[in-house]
Structure 1
Amino acid sequence: MAQAPLWRAIAVYRIAALAYTTILIIRNFEHYQRPMLAWPALALMAAWTLTTTYAYAYPARRRAPLLIADQLITMAALASSVWIVGRPALEQGRPTLAVAWHVAPVLAWAVFAGRRGGIAAAAAMGATDLVVRAHYDQAAFTGSVLMLLAAIAVGYLVRVVESSHRRLQRAIELEASTRERERLARDIHDSVLQVLALVRRRGAGLDGEAGELARLAGEQEAALRNMVASQPPARPDQAGEADLMGLLRPRASAEVSVAGPADPVRLPERTAHELAAAVAAALDNVTRHCPPGTKAYVLVEQEPGAVTVTVRDDGDGIPAERLEQAASQGRLGVAQSIRGRVAALGGRVHITSPPGAGAEVEMVVPIS
């Protein structure tokens, strides 16, 4: 869809080039070796111009077979100059039959396949043009060089247009997602959050199940407030990246604090998700092995060439022999879910746990 204006521009160029070719044929008609054959050749060029103008207007038809046919037919029209114009006239500097018109397939290849496709088409068309002219002076080489430069410029323009289109689509999707999130946040605030806050206040100080219910309501209120206030969860973009902070923020709650840079921490998609999974495993260990109400803290630090994620808790710590015992018993939460994931990313894990002072899991992953 983003390339449609470029294809229309090629169609306009082809028609303008055909008009210019017609003028040159009329002006040089009497110098041709076989002048009467110039009109059928011009008619075929006009017919092919109409065909390609119609065909390239539909994305489903912009395929390699059509572009190959376009290249070959144009090269044939260019080569027919040897027979129609004649070698003596060409050596005297008379233009070929397809002068300027033969650049259109090169531009089409540059739009379709980028700079590499355009350069290949320009090389083939330029070589044909030089062979047909049969003289290798500055003027002959200048035309081929200009055609090559045009292919490079159009190929680069195509990449810029496609990148801008992808960014625009992501911006539109993000805006729509943000508006929907704000609408849901207002609805949640007016209903669920107020109910949870009321339960927490009414049950504060009560014993038994009522007190436990009030505590749970307070935790869910804090988690829900953080969820509606944070950025939308990270999703891979067209470049294959994801925001690590967007993946970690939803885990914040009354017992889990998540801190990090204000700007997105963009990592390769696999790296971001694997690192978030390792953090989830570390937080799960805190939930399972620490006393109820233990606080956990997640800190993300982005440095040149690496990103460091630290998960710390204020529990009772990890006995020195527990990790070895867990691994020998087949419980591989730390060995595989944390160390294995980080090692697979080329990083390292450092675990410290002073007696009675909680545990700290530091994960360092290199980034390019």
Structure 2
Amino acid sequence: MGSATRRERVVRMSVEQPLWRALTAYRVLTVVYAIGLFASAYEVYERPWVGIAYYAVLAVWTLATLPQVSGARRCTKRFLTIDLAVAVTGILLSPVAGHERAVTGGSTLPSIWTAGAVLAWALKGGWRWAAFASVLIGAANVVQRGDISRSTVHNVLLVCIAGIAIGYVVEVARASERTLARALEIEAATRERERLARDIHDSVLQVLAMVQRRGTALGGEAAELGRMAGEQEIALRTLVAEGLRQPSRASEDLSQGAVVRAVTTYAEADAPPGTEGPRDLRPLLAPHANALTTFSAPGTAVLMPSAAARELAAAVSAALDNVRQHAGEGARAWILVEDEPEAVIVTVRDDGPGIPEGRLAQAEGEGRLGVAQSIRGRLRDIGGTAELISVPGQGTEVELHVPKKK
């Protein structure tokens, strides 16, 4: 199989971003609502010019600061402080405008726009920040009305509970994002190590094993070279196995509100441009046919995604390597390709001595990952499965099953 360069692509998104978009819309709608409420009761204000001046400032402020409420990064403490001051000022100016209902239970000049200021604090800093902003808004309502009425307490508690609840939800969401991001990055690192282990097994380890066997057979100085190659093979297998069992710690340098939405492994093969679409599996497997290996496939193309076809062909190559290495140079092998409606099935069978029970688990424990990574690992990465059936004295059969995506 041609060499492929793989990399992990991490796509990040903020799960709290929809809340910021909702807050942006809320601020615009509530400033329009507050102005409409003032216009409908314009004649009852003794000093309407106070309301007009305040609404002019409020409208300009709301529209000018829309970028600040588009996300946590741009929503600074300075902006939040000024925004809360605008809300408190509007509440305290309500009696000055001369609307009697402002001090007898009616709405204040900013009306429900003040809740948007509290929600901005909640989204930025969590429930503690929300509680602080809510208490300040509540205190301003009590001051402008001169007493603590039932309606005042009701409105203050409503804003306080809503702000604290949203702030708490945001804190929980951020903690979950960090946990999920770390888990997905660990998974990505582990998959990359598995891929490297497969590549090492298919190249370096096979060469070292061959040098060891040939050197031992030749004797003399070649035997010493073979012994050294054997030592390096064992050391490299141990290193690969330990690396797979101990994935590195995932990076926790995450921007606030960012989460790994998906981790996608993909290959950039050295195939010519424009050949990364569906690919016929048969030409990838046909070169294995020789005097000792029989290849059987359908008469029509067995189309698969290009990356999946390459991985499946590599798994077949690994299975045949195992035949040559463990069944002997004279062992016969058969490759059967079946193109079913729901899946592509490739079976590799040999007439060797078979695999003793428990040998695969023992080999994996010794760091020999040919079956675990070069075969099963590859099939797992493309959504398939690999089943190995072996009866001592009757050969081994490896069935590779790759479902077709609908």
TM-score, L = length of structure 2: 0.52
Gaps in structure 1 of 5+ consecutive residues: 240-251, 256-368
Question: CA separation in 1, counterparts of 2:192 and 2:237?
Answer: 21
Aligned to 2:234: 219
> Does the 8 Å contact 2:83/2:117 carry over to 1?
yes
Question: CA separation in 1, counterparts of 2:63 and 2:171?
Answer: 27
Q: Does 1:234 align with 2:248?
A: yes
- The higher-RCO structure (CA 8 Å, 6+ apart) is 2
Question: CA separation in 2, counterparts of 1:60 and 1:214?
Answer: 55
Q: Does 1:72 align with 2:85?
A: yes
Question: CA separation in 2, counterparts of 1:19 and 1:176?
Answer: 48
For 1:51-62, what aligned pairs fall within 5 Å after superposition? 51-57=64-70, 61-62=74-75
* Structure richer in helix, relative to its length: 1
- Could you list the per-position Cα deviations for residues 148-178 of structure 1 after superposition, in whole angstroms to 9, with x for gaps in the alignment? 1112112112113323333443354344434
Q: Does 1:49 align with 2:62?
A: yes
Q: Are residues 42 and 210 of structure 1, via their aligned partners in 2, closer, same or farther at CA, if it must alter by over 3 Å?
A: closer
- Could you list the per-position Cα deviations for residues 38-64 of structure 1 after superposition, in whole angstroms to 9, with x for gaps in the alignment? 222222211111122133336553211
Aligned to 2:143: 131
Q: Over aligned residue pairs, what C-alpha RMSD do you find?
A: 3.1
Cα shift at 1:217:
3.6
Aligned to 1:107: 119
* Structure richer in strand, relative to its length: 2
Q: Are residues 136 and 43 of structure 1, via their aligned partners in 2, closer, same or farther at CA, if it must alter by over 3 Å?
A: same
For 1:53-202, what aligned pairs fall within 5 Å after superposition? 53-57=66-70, 61-86=74-99, 88-202=100-214
Question: CA separation in 1, counterparts of 2:20 and 2:204?
Answer: 53
1:82 aligned counterpart, secondary structure: coil
Question: CA separation in 1, counterparts of 2:176 and 2:98?
Answer: 46
* Percent identity (aligned): 36
Question: CA separation in 1, counterparts of 2:24 and 2:226?
Answer: 75
Gaps in structure 2 of 5+ consecutive residues: 1-12, 254-363, 368-406
- Bigger shift: residues 138-147 or 195-204: 195-204
Question: CA separation in 1, counterparts of 2:229 and 2:59?
Answer: 82
For 1:329-340, what aligned pairs fall within 5 Å after superposition? none
Aligned to 1:7: 20
Q: Are residues 155 and 214 of structure 1, via their aligned partners in 2, closer, same or farther at CA, if it must alter by over 3 Å?
A: same
Question: CA separation in 2, counterparts of 1:36 and 1:217?
Answer: 88
Cα shift at 1:71:
1.0
> Does the 8 Å contact 2:119/2:130 carry over to 1?
yes
Q: Are residues 126 and 214 of structure 1, via their aligned partners in 2, closer, same or farther at CA, if it must alter by over 3 Å?
A: same
Amino acid aligned to 2:36 = I
Q: Are residues 198 and 114 of structure 1, via their aligned partners in 2, closer, same or farther at CA, if it must alter by over 3 Å?
A: same
